[in-house]
Structure 1
Amino acid sequence: MKKFLLSAFTAMMLFSCQNDQNEASGSEVNAIARRGCASQEVLEAQLRADPTLAIRMNEIEAFTSKQLLSNFTGRLVNGKIEIPVVVNVLYRTTAQNISDAQIQSQIDVLNKDFNALNTDYSSVPALFSGVKANVGITFKLDQIIRKSTTKTSWGTNDAMKKTAQGGLAPTSPTTKLNLWSCAIGGGILGYAQFPGGASSTDGVVIDSRYFGLSGAANAPFNLGRTGTHEVGHWMNLRHIWGDATCGSDLVSDTPTHNEENYGVPAYPHYSTCSGTPVEMTMNYMDYVDDNAMYMFSNGQKTRMAAIFATGGPRAAFGI
């Protein structure tokens, strides 16, 4: 089990999930075969734009660590945290103009995954049954905003969030989770802004092909788990391998992973890190296929709850 490690590097990490570029060298129409990440590129761009970001993120980590040490369990309303969600749809083609039903399917997936109502939750191995979590956070669709565009792709520079660049600015980002559905390009599945970033760009971006239950053509990422993974980042979760060989995700009850896992790993999959633990490959914060991820841990639950506490980076949600 990992100890909590606070460092300038881990405190600065942002998340932008994409596939291996070699896997996406063909047509953008083809389904992506692998998850991957371009975190460093996004981090560097945001740090250039805002040199104080690293300081804010370090402060958030210090606050979170303090909450965890005090056995903080979170303040819930009727036992739940409810997050209003605004979905911003930017489309050039009819397929990109995803339906209300597809949008609702993503909200439904989030509600199932964050409340242990997903049918595959029962597949969590006995080894991890003592730490698997019902996070107790719910999501409610608040608004859908649509905008036609001539852009073929948006990239990862947050252009889709900026009106001046043809995008849609976030709606009430300090009290509502904004999701953007658009053609990101470059084989990218989606990316999230970690707590501490500017409110003008806060939220989660998901390629329209992987938004909600998007159909068999977009397998193995057609079950809405890109949204679950990215919202996890928005709620201050790290990748489970800590973005380093045998790194730390700052959660005590997740095993140390060698690195990210892809596809559908056979169980048990052993780490070669200290203690050779069985890796929690089915955790939402790994890189496995949608049908192979189906749990958060209690430690992740507590870490997410801490951001909504008084003094936390998302305390303005008013819970």
Structure 2
Amino acid sequence: MKKALRQGTYAALNIYFQTDLYGNILGQCTLPANVGSNPSPSVYVSDGCNVLAATMPGGNIAGYNLGKTAVHEAGHWLGLLHTFEGYSCSGNGDFIADTPQESTSTDGCPAKPAKDSCASVAGVDPIHNYMDYSTDACYTNFTPGQGQRMQTMWSMYRSGK
């Protein structure tokens, strides 16, 4: 499918909205990688995001039908990891200093009481962050550190390619 539909260079985000994704997932996206200075399209033909069409506004996936899955997946395409990466209260997590440690992905939007899967570490879980697994209505932001990482990854891997 991607070989037939892919448009643009490695710097062009291709999002494929599909009615069925293998593994009963909402979306999947490639992370940026070093493809060389003048890559052949055959090198990056599979690059892009696959998003379950029912997650778009008006879709039938309750809690996940406001289009935020596409935002989450685009975050991966720009180099972001999940806020709960590593499922641990120690270590590098998502490699971004201003996202609190989170040892479990979020289910729903548990605002009160605040979800705190790492009570021994400062900060509560970032349930409003696009890179968690909260419901769409819960999502409101990327952190400044995530914004910087996306810009850095764009410049390093995708710009001009």
Class of the TM-score when normalised by the shorter of the 2 chains: 0.7 to 0.9
**Quick one: which of 10, 25, 37 aligns to 1:174?**
10
Quick one: structure 1 residues 161 and 270, their matched pair in 2 at CA, closer, same or farther if it must change by over 3 Å? same
Single out whichever of 271-280 and 187-196 deviates more from structure 2: 271-280
CA contact (8 A) 2:87 2:102 kept: no
Q: Return the alpha-carbon distance in structure 2 between the equivalents of residues 186 and 270 of structure 1.
A: 29
Q: Which AA in structure 1 matches 2:151? A: A
Q: 1:288 aligns with which of 131, 134, 139?
A: 134
User: Is 1:214–2:58 an aligned residue pair?
Assistant: yes
Question: Structure 1, residues 32-75: CA drift from partner, whole Å, max 9, x if none?
Answer: xxxxxxxxxxxxxxxxxxxxxxxxxxxxxxxxxxxxxxxxxxxx
CA distance in 1, matches of 2:154, 2:23: 34
Cα separation, 1, equivalents of 2:148 and 2:126: 18
Match of 1:261 in 2: 106
Q: Tell me the residue number matched to 1:190.
A: 27
Identity across matched positions, percent: 34
Tell me the amino acid that sits aligned with residue 251 of structure 1: I
Q: Distance in 2 between matches of 1:292 and 1:194?
A: 24
How do 1:10-159 residues align onto structure 2 when only pairs under 5 Å count?
none
Q: Contact between 1:173 and 1:200, CA under 8 Å: does it hold in 2?
A: no
- Match status 1:199 vs 2:44: yes
Pick from 235, 243, 256: which aligns with 2:86? Answer: 243
Q: By percentage of residues, which structure has more helix?
A: 1
Report the structure number with the largest CA radius of gyration: 1
Q: What one-letter code is carried by the residue in structure 1 that aligns with 2:10?
A: T
Match of 1:277 in 2: 123
* Counterpart amino acid of residue 242 in structure 1: E
> What whole-Å deviation, never above 9, does each CA across 1:86-116 have from its counterpart, x for those lacking one?
xxxxxxxxxxxxxxxxxxxxxxxxxxxxxxx
1: CA distance between counterparts of 2:153 and 2:116? 32
Q: How many angstroms apart in 1 are the aligned matches of 2:121 and 2:15?
A: 39
Q: Which runs of 5+ in 1 are unaligned?
A: 1-159
Matching of residue 162 in structure 1 with residue 3 in structure 2 = yes
RMSD, matched Cα? 1.9
| Counterpart AA for 1:270 | D
Contact 2:68 2:136 in 1 (8 A): yes
Higher normalized strand content (fraction of residues): 1
Following superposition, the deviation at residue 275 of structure 1 comes to 2.3
- TM-score relative to the length of structure 2: 0.83
Unaligned runs of 5+ in 2: 36-42
Task: Count matched residues.
Answer: 149
Encode CA deviations 1:191-243: one digit per residue, 9 max, x unaligned. 00000174111111111211x3134x322111000000000000000100113
Find the counterpart in structure 2 of residue 306 from structure 1: 152
TM-score (norm 1): 0.44
Shift of 1:180: 0.5
